[in-house]
Structure 1
Amino acid sequence: MSQQEIKRTAEFIAAATRGFTPEAGIILGTGLGGFADCIDVAYSLEYKDIPGFPVSTVEGHKGRLIFGTVEGRRVVAMQGRFHYYEGYAMSQVTFPVRVMKLLGIRCLFVSNASGGINTSFRTGDLMVITDHINLMPNPLIGPNMAEFGPRFPDMHGCYDPQLIARATAIAEREGIKLQYGVYVGGTGPTFETQAEYRYFKAIGGDAAGMSTVPEVIVARHMSLPVFGMSVITNCGLSDEPGDHEDVQRQGRKAGERMGVLFREMIRTL
């Protein structure tokens, strides 16, 4: 997607929302769309009605861009994201992050459902993402959009340490148990084999999924601070087979705790 296409889409959205300027962007993953209920909605746009936007094809991703307030702060939330395995180019997968930046966001919150690799994790745990390992094509391959960021962006601290510290303090106050770890991003759409999970563990992964990393890379290219959270919806090294319906179910169960954390973090931006 070209810079011109990104600008045109941002201009369309700005006109449709009467110049609503969000402070934070939120990407809601599989089974986590319920957080939208925490938003005092001012505008809601279907992806299919937004020029240049792909359309989510995955069950559990509603496909709406929601503008409103959370704890008095202006936000834009993606209720459903796009994935490389749906057949989209990486430029399409990350297109909304570019658009949200032009709309005015100053930080990005990302969430996903993932399979636990760390053997101390349990189904339903919330894992704060401290770093990632990218096993997908890098979304910055191709001509650099110099208007957004440098050719070779640094990825140290790509998950903002200050936001992680804030989440830790809020969780302690609210009695929410957090895990911390490295997220491994793969292409999907197959759930990982046992051998792949063992490989991910050997290279330093704590949880694995099929999203998030491309969006974070593009956000950091634009110097946006990022906070990421995974809901551990299954334990990958167990003998239980992967099941998308169960992933959605576990995501919804953990979504309430994640919602408390996100609301408080947004309130104190």
Structure 2
Amino acid sequence: MLAYILSQPRSGSTVLTAMLDKRKGVVCMPESSFPQALGVVSRKERDDRRWMAALYLGSTFPPTPLSFEDALACMEGSDEQILHALGRALATKIGRDPTEVRTIVWKTTRTIGMHRGPLSTSGRFIVLRRHPHNVFESQSRFDYGVRNRRPLRYAFFAQSYEYALSRLPVDRTFLINYDDAEKRLSELLGFLQLDDRGTWETGSSSLDLVAKSCSWLAQITEEFRNTDVEKRARLTPETLKLVDRSLALTRPLRSFMGPVRAHSDRRSMSHIWDFARQRLAENS
């Protein structure tokens, strides 16, 4: 089975990915917009296996353990077959038995409204939400969210995400809050049609490998500890009121956020195409 984790940035999707990735039968891919890219590639691009391998590398962040040649070997068949092949290749790369893999998890927080690629598969969707005060506080501390440090702008950003998430098929979607992630993990595994068989006995994790070059991931791979209450306390009462008022003001506009989300997604995908061209040139 394929599964897709979708959320706003800074909502704890990497933490949830780390939890799932420890369970036997699950392999989680590094954050990637590749499933979304599959929904917008042209026929000519799709027939070019080297371009498709470059597109996988260009759409994946942080760095993937898979090489260009690894990805190239996976670029045959339907979208579903390609996504499965990449998952099995990653399992082999990190020392896990690919025949034991039952679910391959892809997550993205960027091209969040581009559902055509994931919907073309039989995969299921995991929508993760976090207290908006924590999302705002967390984005305010990182360069990625520098433009969302104003409560009103953040509110429009958040509503565009909620618009995109509302377009997912209800019968294929599992809703989960960050605060409940650990205690609902067994329920989530059931949604993914997985028995809890404990943790992997062999191999590593792509997150562990990436953490060696991305220091900000090191804490994620350790034992989970929820400190959201303490983090919310960093915000002043005045800021909290502004965030709440901004969200309340923009909520009625959520159903009109399609063009906003589409513009942001197209811009992200344009950057991905540029990265893919660089990867192709490096491997030509």
Quickly name the TM-score band, shorter chain normalised.
0.3 to 0.5
Greater fraction strand: 1
TM-score, normalised by the number of residues in structure 2 = 0.32
Greater fraction helix: 2
TM-score, normalised by the number of residues in structure 1 = 0.33
The structure that has the greater radius of gyration is: 2
Higher relative contact order (CA 8 A, sep 6+): 2
